[in-house]
């Protein structure tokens, strides 16, 4: 089955969507991987970044969570069969998308973080359709709630983008506690932080100090590539393109490529995964 990786930070503005879109594009375009990008953020920005038009009544992420409790008329379903992944193709070969709409934000209001409700995404991923992919990259909501808990229970690995600001480091401690709780309460021992990505780096003393603190806190998980402010990323997103398509030789594209390749090493595709050897 595909490796399931969630990009998560309980604070907004950390570049989760940017990383999901551009790493997914690089993995598909440059590495030949089959990738499913899943937007679980009610803001629904991932489709815009990837240049996908989301139409009313079309496939969307809410079907992953409500398929088992609502009938077809309630979901206004017009294009996806019950139980099927509500995916749409992108213009990038090998990259499909499950988009989000604002309706996804209603989940947290009526679906408390009960054991059964918080496992809906994990159950939806138990489908042979997922075998068509090497990676599932999930864009998570910017705050903790029922949606985020669903993501944590469905993912096996986490990528944590951390803006180099003082308050963002506080958010890392909260996330670590949340991950520990999910591992213990639900027996989800496979869940782990695969990579911590410093973002929005500037050449200031404060940023350098915060980067050092992040390296000290996550010595094994810290990414080798630090993401700064890149104008080409903003330009590419405004055109509905990944930066690897828009400016393949720009520093931003090279940084995203390096991160994508590092992610492959940290969370290798299933066929390259080395089984653990039980010690006697």
Q: What is the pLDDT of residues 25-52, one digit of tens each?
A: 999 999 999 999 999 999 999 999 999 9
**Average pLDDT, rounded, for the chain:** 88
Does residue 225 lie in a domain region?
A: yes
In a domain, 280, yes or no: no
Quote the pLDDT of residue 271: 72
User: What mean pLDDT comes out for the span 184-202?
Assistant: 95
Q: Domain range holding 79?
A: 3-270
- Residue 73 pLDDT > 80: no
In a domain, 14, yes or no: yes
Can you tell me the distance from the alpha carbon of 225 to that of 238, in angstroms, rounded to the nearest whole number? 24
Question: Taking residues 4-10, what's their average pLDDT?
Answer: 93
Return the residue matching tokens 């400016």.
247
Number of domains comprising the chain: 1
Torsion of CA 254, 30, 154, 272, to 10 degrees: -110
Sorting pLDDT into bands at 50, 70 and 90, what band is 278?
very low
What is the per-residue pLDDT for 76?
A: 52
Strand intervals (E) in 143-263: 157-163, 192-199
CATH of the domain at 253: 3.40.50.300
What is the average pLDDT across 170-196? 91
31 within a domain of the structure (yes/no):
yes
pLDDT at 157 over 70: yes
pLDDT at 275 over 70: no
Does the structure show a pLDDT above 70 at 201?
yes
- Is the separation of the CB atoms in 35 and 28 below 8 Å? yes
Identify whether the C-beta of residue 206 lies closer than 8 Å to the C-beta of residue 239: no
Is residue 277 in some structural domain? no
> Quick check: is 279 in a domain?
no
The 10s digit of each residue's pLDDT in 77-133 is 455 556 689 999 999 999 999 999 888 877 655 544 456 688 999 999 999 999 999
> What is the distance, to the nearest Å, from the Cα of residue 49 to the centroid of all Cα atoms in its chain?
14
pTM of the model: 0.90
The 10s digit of each residue's pLDDT in 206-226 is 889 999 999 999 999 999 999
Angle CA 49–196–106, to nearest 5? 50
What was the pLDDT predicted at 85?
94
Q: Residue 280: what pLDDT?
A: 39
Half-sphere exposure of 216 (CA within 13 A, CB side): 7
Bigger pLDDT: 245 vs 168 = 245
d(CA 50, CA 239): 9
User: What is the mean pLDDT of the segment spanning 53-72?
Assistant: 78
In-domain check, residue 278: no
Separation between Cα atoms, residue 259 and residue 267, nearest integer Å: 12
Q: Residue 69's pLDDT is what?
A: 53
Q: How far apart are the C-alpha atoms of 66 and 156, rounded to whole Å?
A: 22
pLDDT value for 109 = 54
| Domain assignment of residue 276, yes or no | no
User: Binning pLDDT at 50, 70 and 90, where does residue 15 land?
Assistant: very high
Share of the chain above pLDDT 70, in %: 88
């Amino acid at each position: 089955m595909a490796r399931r990786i969630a990009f998560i930070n309980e604070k907004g503005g950390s570049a989760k969507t940017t990383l999901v879109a551009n790493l997914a594009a690089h993995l598909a375009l440059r590495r030949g991987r089959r990738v499913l990008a899943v937007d679980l953020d009610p803001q629904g920005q991932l489709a815009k970044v990837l240049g996908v038009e989301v139409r009313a009544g079309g496939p969307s992420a809410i079907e992953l969570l409500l398929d088992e409790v609502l009938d077809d008329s309630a979901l206004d379903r017009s294009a996806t069969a019950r139980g099927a992944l509500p995916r749409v193709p992108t213009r990038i070969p090998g990259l499909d998308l499950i988009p989000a709409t604002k309706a996804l934000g209603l989940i947290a209001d009526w679906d408390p973080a009960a054991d059964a409700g918080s496992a809906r995404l994990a159950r939806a991923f138990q489908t042979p359709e997922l075998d068509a992919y090497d990676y599932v990259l999930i864009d998570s909501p910017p705050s903790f709630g029922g949606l985020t808990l669903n993501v944590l229970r469905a993912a096996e690995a986490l990528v944590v983008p951390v803006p180099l600001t003082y308050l963002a480091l506080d958010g890392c401690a909260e996330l670590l506690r949340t991950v520990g709780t999910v591992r213990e309460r639900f027996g989800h021992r496979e869940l782990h932080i695969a990579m911590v990505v410093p973002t929005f780096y500037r050449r200031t003393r404060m940023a350098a100090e915060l980067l050092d603190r992040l390296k000290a806190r996550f010595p094994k998980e810290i990414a080798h590539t630090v993401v700064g402010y890149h104008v080409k990323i903003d330009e590419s997103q405004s055109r509905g393109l990944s930066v690897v398509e828009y400016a393949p030789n720009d520093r931003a594209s090279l940084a995203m490529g390096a991160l994508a390749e590092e992610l492959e090493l940290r969370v290798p595709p299933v066929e390259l995964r080395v089984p653990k050897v039980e010690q006697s």
